Amino acid sequence: MKAVINKFCFFLLIPILFSCESVQPPKPYGVLPSKPQIDWQQMEYYMFVHFGPNTFTDVEWGDGKEDPKVFNPTNVDCRQWAATAKQAGMTGIIITAKHHDGFCLWPSKFSTHTVRESPWKDGKGDLLKELSEACKEYGLKFGVYLSPWDQNHPAYGTSDYNQIFANTLNEVLSGYGDVFEQWFDGANGEGHGGKKQVYDWPLFHSVVYKNQPNAVIFSDVGPGCRWMGNERGVAGKTNWSTLNITGFGPGHDAPTTEVLNMGNEGGEAWVPAETDVSIRPGWFYSPSTDEKVKTLEQLIDIYYTSVGRNSNLLLNVPPDRSGRIHYNDSVRLMDFHKAINDIFADNLISGAEINASNERGSQYRASNMLDENYETYWATQDNDLTPSVEINLSSNKMFNRLMLQEYIPLGQRISSFKVSYWNDKNGDWSDLLDGTTIGYKRILRFPTVETSRLKIEFKGLACPVISKIGLYLDKVLLSSPVIERDKSGMVTINTDDLQVDIYYTTNGDVPSEESMKFEEDFSMPKKGIVKAIAISNGRKSGVSTKEYDVSPILWSVISSGKDAAFCIDGSEHTFAEMDKSEPLVVDLGEVLLLKGFSYIPVNNVEAANIVKYNFYTSLDSKNWTKVKDGADFKNIKNNPIVQMTLFNDVTKCRYLKMQPLELTKEVDKYIVAELGVITK
C-alpha cells in the first residue's frame, strides 16, 4: 500500500515539476547593466557640490592663477551639507574635489594649489576627509569629481601630466573610503588658448577600478553613466540606456548632444543617462543669485524630465562663502522633497485587478506589477512582443500621472507603448497618451482623467518585463508668474493658470496678498527689481524674480545683420544673427556710466553663441577703448545662461562694440539673444 501511495504522489508531482521546469525566466536582451550600475540607478537623486576658489571670486571657471588665499570659508560644515541632503531625500553627494583651476580640496602631494596653501584651518584642512565622514554618518554615498583639465599645474600639456593626474586620482580614491561615482568631464585647454593635453583615459579608468571596483564612471561616454547633453535638467522623452561608444570619447570626441540625450536603440554598451543641473543659474555660489534659486515648480518639472525619463538626477547645491548651504537653497530643497513625497504617497492602483493578454506563467503574472518588490515582474511568452494589460480600479478615480518600470537586469526592451482609458460618456476606450522608451523608471504627465479602467499596449524588442505600474494624482502647483519687460520699459506679468490673482512688488519685498495686485502693464524704464506671486483659493505659486537695468528704449544697432535689432528688443526669445567677421555695435542713445555689460546667449547647446571676444566702449563711435581683451564666457557651451561681465573701472560711454573671436561651434555666423548694460 505504501508503495502505491508513493507512486501516486510521484505521478501527482510530475505536472508540477514539468510546469516549474518549462516556465523559464525571459532571456536577457541586448547589453546589460552591471550590479553597480543597477545599484546606481536605484539611487535616483543625489547632490552635486561645487566649492572652491570660484566660490569667492564669483566666476564659473577659474584660470588657475587665483591666489589660494582666496579660499577661506569661515564656517565649513560638511555635516550640515549631509544633513540637508538626507532631509531632502537625496542618496549621496559628489564633490568637486578638483575643478579646472586645479585647486585641490585636500592637501595633495602632487600639487601646490591646494587647501594646504590656503588660510582655511591654517592650511591643515581636508575637505574630502570631512565630507566623506559626514556622508558615512548620515548614510549617504560619497562621490568625487576630478577635472583632468588643470590650468595651474606646470606639467599640464606635457607627456608627464597624465601620470601626475593618475597619481592624483589614486591619492583621492585610496584615501577616503568607498566612492560610488567618479565624475569626469572632457574639459581641455585646447580651443580656449590653453595648452593641449591628450588624456590617457584607459590609464585613468584603470586607477579608478583598481581602487574602487564598484564605482560608476561618468563622462560623455561613460563607461558607467553618461552626460545627457544639456545642463537644463531635461533628458530625452526617448531615452535608451544603451549607447554606441566605439570611436567616441569625452569632450570634443563625444557623440552629438541629440544622441547623448536619447541614447542609441540597441547600443553596444550599457551607459545610462545622468541629468546634472544646478539649483542656481551657475554652478558655484554667487551672492547675486541668492534670489534666483529655482522655484519649486521648476524643480518638480526637472524631476519629471530626469528621474521620470529613465535618468538619475544630480542636483547641484553650492555652499556659500561661509561654507554652508544657503538658507534659500535649503528651504527650497525641503519644499521639493515634501512635494514629491506628497505626489507619490498614494498609489491609486492599490487594490486594482490587472489582467494581461499574455502571461509567461504564474511566477510572472501581471499582478506582480502591483506589488512594491522590484525583483518581481510581469513577463510574456517569448513570441509575444505586443501584449497589453487592462487595469480595473475598484471605482472611478482621478489621476494625472502614470509610472512604469522595466526590470532592467534583463535589459531595456520596450520601444513604445500606448495608454487608453475607459470613457463612460462614449462607452468606449479613449486615447490618453503614447510613449516610447521606459527603462528603469518612466513617469508620464497628462491632464487629469477620471475613470475606473486603464489599458496599456506595449511594443517590445523582446518580450516585456515590467516590474511596476503606478497611478498618482499630482495636485499641480500654481504656475509661477512670468515677468517680462519690453524695449520701452513696460513690464507685464503672466501665468499659465486661469482664475488666479497676481501680486507683485518693486522694492525687493516678498509679495503677498497685501502687495500690489497686477491688473495692467506698468512702466519701469530704469533699474529695478520685480517679484511676483500667483494666488488662488489659498494656493500659492513660487515667487518669480526679475532684476532689470536701464531699458533699451533709446538704443539702436549700427551693425548690419539679420534681425539685428532683436538683440536689444528686451526679449530673450528673439535673436540677432551676425557675420562672425562683423562686430556688434550698439548706440545707447545717451552717455551712461557703466560697470559692465550683460550678454544673453540663445539657450540651446547647439546654438552658435559667443565664447571668446573683445569688448570696446566709445563716446563718439570713432575712438574706441578696449575694456576686455580676449575674454571668454566660461562654460557657455554647456550652460548657455545670462553672462554678467564687469569692467576693471567704471566707464563713461555711449557706444558698445563686441567682436567675437570664437564661437561654441565652427560656423560663419554668431547669434545674440540680448545685449544689456550694468550701470553704476
Q: How many CB atoms lie within 10 A of CB 489?
A: 18
Q: Can you give the pLDDT at residue 50?
A: 98
Asked if residue 30 is part of any domain, the answer here is no
Asked if residue 626 is part of any domain, the answer here is yes
Q: How far apart are CA 379 and CA 255, in angstroms?
A: 34
Same domain, 185 and 334: yes
Asked if residue 20 is part of any domain, the answer here is no
Q: Which residue, 73, 57, 118, 78, is CA-closest to 321?
A: 73
**Percentage of the residues of the chain whose pLDDT score is greater than 90:** 89
Same domain, 540 and 584: no
User: Which of 324, 343, 362 is the last residue before a domain boundary?
Assistant: 343
Asked if residue 6 is part of any domain, the answer here is no
Same domain, 491 and 372: no
Asked if residue 87 is part of any domain, the answer here is yes
DSSP string, 328-364: HHHHHHHHHHHHHHHHTS--TTTT-EEEES--S-GGG
Domain extent at residue 634: 556-679
Mean pLDDT for 458-485 is: 94
Long-range contacts of 415-419 (CB under 8 A, 24+ apart): 415/265, 415/459, 415/460, 415/461, 416/458, 416/459, 417/456, 417/457, 417/458, 417/459, 418/456, 418/457, 419/444, 419/454, 419/455, 419/456, 419/457
- Who's near 2: CB < 8 A, 6+ residues apart? none
Q: Is the pLDDT of residue 14 over 50?
A: no
- Secondary structure letter of residue 114 according to DSSP: B
Banded model confidence at residue 190, pLDDT cuts 50, 70, 90: low
User: Which of 447, 472, 497 is the last residue before a domain boundary?
Assistant: 472
| CATH, residue 426 | 2.60.120.260
Mean pLDDT for 87-95 is: 98
Same domain, 174 and 296: yes
**Percentage of the residues of the chain whose pLDDT score is greater than 70:** 96
Asked if residue 383 is part of any domain, the answer here is yes
pTM greater than 0.85 (yes/no): yes
Q: Can you give the pLDDT at residue 537?
A: 86
Q: Can you give the pLDDT at residue 498?
A: 78
Same domain, 564 and 538: no
Q: Is the pLDDT of residue 499 over 90?
A: no
Q: Is the pLDDT of residue 345 over 60?
A: yes
Q: Can you give the pLDDT at residue 7?
A: 47
Q: How many domains does the chain have?
A: 4
Q: How far apart are CA 525 and CA 531, in angstroms?
A: 16
Mean pLDDT for 50-72 is: 96
Q: Can you give the pLDDT at residue 19?
A: 43
Same domain, 93 and 199: yes
Here the cell at position 334 is 525641503
Banded model confidence at residue 3, pLDDT cuts 50, 70, 90: very low
Mean pLDDT for 55-68 is: 94
Q: Is the pLDDT of residue 378 over 60?
A: yes
Mean pLDDT for 454-470 is: 98
Q: How far apart are CA 159 and CA 165, in angstroms?
A: 11
Q: Can you give the pLDDT at residue 194?
A: 65
Asked if residue 163 is part of any domain, the answer here is yes
Q: How far apart are CA 107 and CA 233, in angstroms?
A: 33
Q: Is the pLDDT of residue 5 over 70?
A: no
Same domain, 204 and 97: yes
Q: Tens of pLDDT along 602-646?
A: 988 889 999 999 999 999 999 999 999 999 998 898 889 999 999
Banded model confidence at residue 556, pLDDT cuts 50, 70, 90: very high
Q: Tens of pLDDT along 113-125?
A: 999 999 999 999 9
- Tell me the torsion sign for CA atoms 603, 609, 612, 615: negative
Q: At what angle do helices 201-211 and 161-173 cross, to 10 degrees?
A: 20
Q: Return mean pLDDT, the chain.
A: 94
Same domain, 278 and 312: yes
Length of the chain: 680
| CATH, residue 160 | 3.20.20.80
Here the cell at position 576 is 540677432
Residue indicated by cell numbers 579660499 = 71
Banded model confidence at residue 539, pLDDT cuts 50, 70, 90: confident
Buried residues in 646-669 as b, exposed as e (16+ CB within 10 A): ebeeebebbbbbbbbebbbeeeeb
Q: Is the pLDDT of residue 148 over 90?
A: yes
Banded model confidence at residue 652, pLDDT cuts 50, 70, 90: very high
Residue indicated by cell numbers 570664437 = 662
Banded model confidence at residue 435, pLDDT cuts 50, 70, 90: very high
Same domain, 505 and 652: no
Banded model confidence at residue 247, pLDDT cuts 50, 70, 90: very high
Same domain, 299 and 228: yes
- Who's near 576: CB < 8 A, 6+ residues apart? 557, 561, 562, 563, 564, 565, 566, 567, 584, 671, 672
User: Which of 505, 532, 548 is the last residue before a domain boundary?
Assistant: 548
Q: Is the pLDDT of residue 591 over 90?
A: yes
Same domain, 507 and 622: no
Q: Can you give the pLDDT at residue 75?
A: 96
Same domain, 109 and 218: yes
Instruction: Give me the amino acid identity at 530.
Output: V
Are 271 and 239 in contact by the 8 Å Cβ rule? The answer is no
Q: Is the pLDDT of residue 232 over 80?
A: yes
Asked if residue 359 is part of any domain, the answer here is yes
Q: Is the pLDDT of residue 4 over 50?
A: no
Q: Is the pLDDT of residue 541 over 80?
A: yes
> Which stretch of 370-384, 449-463, 527-541 has the lowest confidence by average pLDDT?
527-541
Banded model confidence at residue 22, pLDDT cuts 50, 70, 90: low
